[in-house]
């Protein structure tokens, strides 16, 4: 089922009667401004991807070349003595 010209005109008349021309004009204007701003932002987008963020040292994973942490060494205090 497709809409003909008469049906589309009738829908347009009902919408104008419900919302009024002022609200429709503002809505279409807002939609046009949004599309224009979106196109402008897409045009200004840089070609190269941004650099990855640098994590603080406390959140960064330990590097394997650093070896074990100094406090990770086992101590003899926990062993049973004979």
* Cα–Cα distance for residue pair 73/60, rounded to 1 Å: 21
* Cα–Cα distance for residue pair 13/24, rounded to 1 Å: 12
* Residue 10 pLDDT class (50, 70, 90 cuts): very high
pLDDT at 63 over 60: yes
- The 10s digit of each residue's pLDDT in 13-56 is 998 888 888 888 898 899 999 999 998 888 876 667 777 777 67
pLDDT at 69 over 80: no
The answer, as to whether pTM is greater than 0.75, is no
Determine the pLDDT at residue 80: 56
Alpha carbon 81 to its chain's center = 60
């Amino acid at each position: 089922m497709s809409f003909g010209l008469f049906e589309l005109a009738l829908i347009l008349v009902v919408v104008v009667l419900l919302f009024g021309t002022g609200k429709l004009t503002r809505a279409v204007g807002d939609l046009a401004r949004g599309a224009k701003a979106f196109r402008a932002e897409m045009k200004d987008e840089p070609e190269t991807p941004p650099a990855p963020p640098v994590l603080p040292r406390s959140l960064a994973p330990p590097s394997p070349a650093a070896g074990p942490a100094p406090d990770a060494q086992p101590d003899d205090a926990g062993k049973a003595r004979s």
